[in-house]
Structure 1
Amino acid sequence: MDLCGIKLWMFLLGMISQNAVQGSSLTISIYTATSKSAVLRWNSYPGSSSYRVTAFLRNSVQPFVFSSFSQNTLMGSINSLSPNTNYTFQVEALDGSMTVLTQSSLDGSTAPDVPTIKTASSKQSQNMTVEFVEVPGATSYIIRAETSDGSFFSEMTVLGTPGTIVGLQPYTDYTLSVMSVNSAGRSQPSEFVQAKTVLASPQLTSSSPSNSSIVVLWAPVPHAVLYSLSIIREGSFLQSPINTTNTSVTINSLEAGTIYCIKVNAWSPESVPGDDVTVCQITRPSTPQSVVLQTVNGMTTLSVSWATVRGADRYTVISSSGLNCTSNSSTCMLTPLTCGQIQYISVTAMNQAGPSLPSDPQQFITFPCPPQPLRVDEIAAGNCSVVWSSVAYVDYYTAFIKRDDGTEQTCNSTGTSCNFNCHCGYSYIMSVFANNQAGSSPPGPVLNQTTLPCCPGNMSVSSVSWESVMISWMAVRGADVYETRAVDAKGELVCNDTSPVCVLSDLTCNTRYSLLVAACNDPRGCNRTCSPQTYQTAPCMPEIVQVTRSNSSSINITWTSTNSAANYTVSVIGSVGNPLTCQSGGTSCTVTGLACGTSYRINAIASTAAGLSMPSYSVPFETAPCCPQNLSVLQVTQAMSNVSWSEARGVQSFIASLTSPRGHAQCHTAQTTCLMGCITCGTNYTVSLQAISSTGSTAECTYHGFSTSECCPSGIRLFRRANNTLRVQWRSSSPLSNYTAVVTGSTSSHSCSPLETGQNTCDVSDITCGDVYSVVVAPVNPDGTVVQFCSSRMYSVFCSGSGVGTVLYRGRRSVD
């Protein structure tokens, strides 16, 4: 090798990598490789007009083969390579003048050589085995199978020859080929061969219809022309072949309870056997023999035993009455046996194939049944009969009677009844047994019979309340509870108690009852043959329907009642004083002596020979309020008076009235005084007072009259007179009234009155001038008193020299 070649080889060696080597922006990779070709990929290189791909034998600088591609091609194959050979691949980017712009190379190898198929055959319907010639360098092989129409394609990797491909369809033609594989890739497929899979195995169903035959069934296998069967008995190597074109075979003359294995395969038209399948079937067991019957556990369980048979894994025993049992051994228990019957017993052996024929029935007669039902008839007092129904296979009956005090009686009878002595208040236990040659029946039903309790004695009746009565008596034997009844024409009341005493409540008043005490027990009920007693309840409560006032101190009370021949007492109970009463045999009475202003409660009670009724519901009644004892009227002003009075019982408020032809004044108050206005002076008034209770009841109270004082005069004037004298002048409302005038200064007071009735002037002397005087003119009452509420007038008296001068009116002022 020359120096130039050595330099080129060293340059290429430095650029090699295992997968891809990147040159000056040119990257290449091996896309795929076969035995004689490789496909490379590279990226586009700017300025290139074509690419050249060259293959060198590894460690050689001499080109082995090359290919050229246009500038738009970035993947290309290089062919004519040797199988299983190492190469260095180089890609060069060339310009238009075929000058190398850049290059890149990498190492690679080709796949092994193409194998050669020797044979291809099918031993199973879903597999195909291919025998081929192995090639150097191959690490594994791929077997390819496909159908001619392309509907199926499959590949499977194997390590060497022969290789098997699975997952195929039965009796189907396949095209087979083999490819060798190494790390570089796979070879081209070998030459194809044709082969067909064998038939599938039949799907078997087996059964044993009897203990000497087996039936094998299967569905037809497509394309099958013949079926082969091979029968082998368990423990034997002898095979019995059968060929048939049918899809079922019955194998007879077999041993009972024995396992037989049957292998079946189908044959194709090419006389190639298909897959085989084996089914093992046991025949039914033979009929059990030597059946033995024996009772155990008294007479209620039957032990059945027999000789075991081959191939049976369990046994079933059935009786004609429907009893059955199953056992894995040679003994089985039937329980419970039914009394008084003839049983027929048979035994059947069973295995997974089915039951054998039952054994011949064995007859067995059971024990007699106990007589039932039982009942007791009471023939007469103290004489009873126990009665039962007849049963089959009985020679005679035995009755046992036991009383609760320990006394026993026994009676044998060929009939269906037996008499015995019975007394009131006792309990009896009875049972009856049936007897025959097989023995006695099991215990039958036990009858508990209790006779009626005896009648209670020493009955006592006493009243507890208006509607309740207590009844007591002596306890009697055999009584669990006592029933007490109170019966009248409308119905009955019932009391149940375990004690010899009972209180009947909610009785109807004024009613005659028949009282009956019956002793009872749970089994027999109550003894109602005892004599009753009569009882009369207290009278009914009257109902007050009306209370009317006869006058201020008496009332009349009316009531209703359903009692007959009853007397009534009415009580009137007040908040003050002693109770008041009245009595009557009718429905009304009058009570007198009621106090004013008093609240009363009124009730009535009826009485008969049976006792007193409940008091009626109280009815409230209130008398009119009392009038005050004292009343006075005081005139406060000319038009206003104050009326006052004393306290009075039963009053909540008052209405005071002053009445005259000239006017009326009224005041409604809860106090004992009232200030009344709009009073006319000089008038006679009638004074009245109305007392009102909290319920609105009123009392009219009238008192003596009241006269108002004369009216105060008007037009009061003051005139100067000679000698320091002043004249007072006024206008009066009545010419018959007397008046007095009072002139009061700062240092002195003067008064005067007219000389004659009817005059309206008077004079006062010794008046000091230069002072202010108040002038009051007031009427004089008949009793000589002066009216104090008349107003005053103010005058200034000036001096004229040393005497009285001008008089000047200054106005009015209220009285002090």
Structure 2
Amino acid sequence: MECASNTGVVSWEQGERVASYLVQASGPDGYQVYCSSPTTSCRLTSLHCGQAYNLTLTAQDSHCNSQNAFSQLQSVPCAPTSVQASLVCLSNSAAVTWQSASGALSYQAEGITVDGTHMVYCNSSVTHCNLEYLLCGETYNVSVLSMDHTCSSEESLSTQVHTAPCPPHTIDVEVNCSAGSMTVTWPANPDAESFHVRAETSGGAFLSCDSTSTSCSISGLPCGQSYSVIVTSVRGGCESQPSTAVNVTSAPCVPQGETANLDCVTNSVWVTWLQAKGAESYSVLAVERGGTNSSCSAADLHCNVPDLLCGATYTFHITAVNSFCRSAPGNAFQIQTAPCALTSITAHTDCYSSQITVSWQLNEVSSFYVATAEGHDQSVLICNSTGTSCDLSGAKCGMQYTIIISVSSDKCSSLRSPPLKMHTAPCAPQNITVNPVCDSNGMAAAWSPSLVAESYSLTASSRDGDVRTCRSTANNCTLLHLHCGQIYDVSITASAGNCTSLDSQQVTFYTVPCEPQNMIVEVQCDTGTATLSWVEGQGSLQYFTTAQTTDGHTLHCDTTSTSCSIDGLTCGMLYNFSALASDGTCNSSLTVPIQRGAVPCPPSTVRVRTHLMVDATLIRVYWNFVDCPDVTYLVQVTGDIQDNPESLMDVSSYWTDINYFEFPVPCSTSYSVTVFAQNSAGISRPSKAVTGVTVPCPPMNITFTGDSSSATVAWRSSALTTGYRVYQLSSDGRVPVCLTSNLSCEVSGLQASNVAVTAWNSAGESFASRVATGKKKWTCGL
């Protein structure tokens, strides 16, 4: 079947002496269609959908018809009808149904948003299926098609389904603490008819409200309750998925069970209470009748209200606080502080002393005085005297002390001084931590805060002599751009007034490692490997190397040594090689990239063939092709002409993509041949050199001394010659009469006119030189 056109294509084997063929297709609905052809195929058009056609093939000649051949053909299935889609609100899916279609073995339902941006499918062998994962607030066109083993029908007529509305994408909740209500707001949604708000506690109790606008209020909130607030959109009885929940808390309950204790030394009140539901913290306010007030706050169930006036009556209120509200004040209670009849006092201590000297004026009421100091940690120091001063011993560093003078051990009697506050010198900072700031090669130090310290000074000294300092009023400090790969000793002092603490215990810190130095990259063309080596960076424990192409492809190698091999280079590609060092926490900066190409290898096999010319040798250089893309080759020939170091030859070919090249080289020349390969990544190293010598130059200045009975033939030497041959020339050719490595030879029975001399070596034999009126004469081919 040709599915798109619902056309059947029938084919068969050619029979003998057949003029034409007739195909008849009969469907179960009584419909028949024919086609005829003189070849071995024909097309049945206009078939009814979903029919199993019986085929009859008849061969014909000019007189008779053959016996019939039979087969079957299934036409394209019919499209489904009566397609309906209804929304399943709870899952925001669509239930699709349809009437069965003739010829269908299975069905596929398709839903596409009207703007075409989202599409979903479901498949079924029955006449219904669910389209799931629909987008909220969208209209989908839904259609169904039928399928058999081969073809699909046309799509059915489409129907539409409108999905559940979308929930509000943001909601805001404002709690009215005094009214015990919350107001929830959200953006407008034209797809929704109304909105439902639900505020639920962790125990499952909930409050709700409904609205057709963009806000809704819930009143009657009990104190101390935490709520998860959600909003859903509603349309035609279908409710959206809930919005993202917002957690809020109603006003905390009023604190109960308050108690209070007066501390007459510090003139402060220690207040406690019971846990209030919904409270995150508490605030205690003490108000004196004249309007003076003092307060404290705490997340626990107690706090100390400080700095109260002597002989005053204070009214106390406790309020619970959370992120949204404050409770109403708790039950009010009153405390009256003790009077202060004695005059003011003074106190002094030296920076590193454990003693505080307290002074006062004498009072006629008493000749015996008690000095009491209470620390912020509730520790107490006491001394007494009949004079005007005494020394409090055992004072600790970093303490805030409150000191009073009284005439008896009853600190709350009227015969007491007003409280005096002072602090001792700060302690050396404790619990120092130093963490690296990797990206700027720095350190971030922190330590336990001191109650009395006004400032801190940090000093960091490296082993290479670098000294850095920083000052801070907080208990942390940061130093940046330290020397790489160094060990710094860190110490901290705290200062208050004129006093500075002793140095803290030293902490050792290792800075960011230095980047690798003097990196070298060597590329091995035969293995596609690059070997990187470098000088060890100070402070390094591990190294990471990369090779990156211009299109971003990256290869890696990690090592704890100072060299690494990166495999998998692609021949012909350019790479940027870089490395960085790591100490396990921080990485150094990257080295400056080194660009190297995965250049091709030189040819592994280079051969030379020679051919003798009149006064030179033609050398032909052959080599094997290199397995690498887009490679061209260059041949270089160097040598000494006439074996003379001052007569140098250096010639090169042009770059070529063939694997041979020819050069004429002078006679008596030693030569060296190398071949280079190149592509876009660069030029290879030279191939292994092939060396040799050319055929010697013909001997010069041939002389013939003597006569035909006996004569001496002599000549000048020819460079790079192994030996010489003297020939007798005749019309039949030449006959060697002397073979020597000397520069002369004794001959007999020869005339000067028929004498020739050649030079020879491993490359071959030179052309011959003859005696001719005192001049050399070359005889070609002799």
TM-score range relative to shorter protein? 0.3 to 0.5
Q: Which has the larger radius of gyration?
A: 1
In the superposition, the TM-score normalised over structure 1's length comes to 0.36
